[in-house]
Amino acid sequence: MVDHFLKEHMDGSPEFTPEPIYNRYGDSIEYLSANEATYAERVDSVLTLYRAIDDDRVVGFKIKDVAALMRELGHDGILLGQETRKNEIVSVAVILFTAFNAAQEPEGEKDKRIRGYLSALQNIKSPKVELDDICV
Amino acid sequence: MYECLTVDPNNPAGPRIEAFIPLDRARQIFKTNPIKFEHLRCVKQILEHPLHIYEGIRDKMEGGWCYVGRPLEWAIKEGVIAPFPQDKVFAVYLRSNMTVFDWQAEQTEEGESSCPKDWRQRYRRRVWSITS
């Protein structure tokens, strides 16, 4: 295969680390428990599940709009710059619960949403995420 | 930032503009999910050859774009390349300043095999298609 176009900008070897990560550009928490191709299945405006491309099993999820969820949890003081609270450790389960309550969805989707959130909770092996650059 | 040229969503008929892939975001993925890192090849391909561009991608995000296309092939496991599935599209998400923040395969809309599922509910509007 042709070398990856970003190879020269990367250090060391690629690693698979099944831990939740905070994507500061997308203000989302992402978690993948398998190093394989996935497709996204939107549960609601906040939660997206990742399913394995070859057998459709749930192998991860993404929680969007984390800054707003953190405000829901009372973390008003987390700011960029000098006032950033570094290495904030937050339970992903708590964020998922807050997301379930915060997402605005039409009536009739509740059962589907509950199944989606349960799938996310059952999938995660590392229950906490480090929020080191969150901007509220 | 890595720069690549793409269709200007504000002026699709005009000259191409730069989109940016943050290197720290790429490194984050390199060190956590190598297959998703491999899919940055698809990101580059879709930005260079999009089929559709949508705007208004999230309620709580000012602006933002979704570029959608279908790569010919992609990595499915370590060292395994396969044809990209016909029943999926590849979506690249950018902030309003053209910074790429996410990328993923998605299910397709029924009857619109080159569009992501539920695009009418998820995005404010489609701003450009390759056929438009």
Per-residue model confidence (pLDDT) at position A129: 64
B102, B78 Cβ separation under 8 angstroms: no
pLDDT at position A131, please?
62
What's the pLDDT score for residue B17? Answer: 96
Residue A21 is predicted with a pLDDT of 86
Mean pLDDT for chain B overall: 93
Mutate: best of B39, B59, B60, B108, partner A, most A CBs <10 A? B60
B60 to chain A, minimum CA–CA distance in Å?
7
Say how many CB pairs under 8 Å bridge A and B.
111
Q: Average pLDDT for residues B96-120, to the nearest whole number? A: 94
Predicted confidence (pLDDT) at residue B114 exceeds the cutoff of 90: yes
In the prediction, which pLDDT does A69 show? 76
- Is residue B94 within 8 A of residue B102, CB to CB? The reply is no
Distance between CA atoms of B69 and A118, rounded to whole angstroms? 31
Contacts of A9 in chain B (CB under 8 A): 2, 23, 26-27
Cα distance between residue B39 and residue B36, in whole Å: 5
Across the interface, whether the CB atoms of B31 and A15 are under 8 A apart is answered yes
Antiparallel, parallel or unpaired: β B88-94 and B65-69: antiparallel
CB atoms within 10 A of CB A101: 9
Q: If residue A128 lies in a helix (H) or strand (E), which one and from where to where? A: strand A128-131
The residue with greater pLDDT, B113 or A80, is B113
What pLDDT, on a 0 to 100 scale, did the predictor assign at position B95?
94
Neighbours of A20 (CB within 10 A): 24
Confidence of residue B30 (pLDDT cuts 50, 70, 90): very high
pLDDT at position A55: 93
Counting as low any pLDDT under 50, the low residues of chain A are 76-87, 135-136
CB A97, CB A54: distance < 8 Å? no
Residue carrying the six token digits 């059952």: A122
Question: What's residue B39's pLDDT?
Answer: 97
Closest CA to A42 of B93, B84, B100: B93
Q: What is the pLDDT of residue B66?
A: 96
Q: Does A105 touch chain B (CB under 8 A)?
A: no
Looking at residue A83, what DSSP letter applies? G
Main-chain phi, psi angles of A71, to 5 degrees: -65, -40
pLDDT in tens, B50-77: 999 999 888 777 789 999 999 999 999 9
Residues on chain B touching A35 (C-beta within 8 angstroms):
33-35, 77-78
Contact: A32, B32; criterion CB under 8 Å = yes
Task: Determine the Cα–Cα distance for residues B71 and B50; give it in Å rounded to an integer.
Answer: 10
Q: Cβ of A60: how many Cβ atoms within 10 Å?
A: 24
Q: What is the pLDDT of residue B80?
A: 94
**Chosen from A1, A5, A6 to mutate, greatest number of chain B CBs within 10 A:** A6
pLDDT, greater one: A31 or B44? B44
pLDDT of residue B22 exceeding 50:
yes
Is A37–B74 a contact, with Cβ atoms under 8 angstroms apart?
yes
Query: What are the beta bridge partners of residue A29?
Result: A22, A63
Distance from the A114 Cα atom to the nearest Cα atom in chain B, whole angstroms: 20
Map B42-83 to HEC letters: HHHHHHHCCCEEEECCCCCCCCCEEEEECCCEEEEECCEEEE
Question: Which tokens sit at A70?
Answer: 């953190």
Query: Which residues of chain A lie closer than 8 angstroms to B105, CB-CB?
Result: 37-40, 53
CA distance B56 to chain A (A): 13
In this prediction, the answer to ipTM > 0.90 reads yes
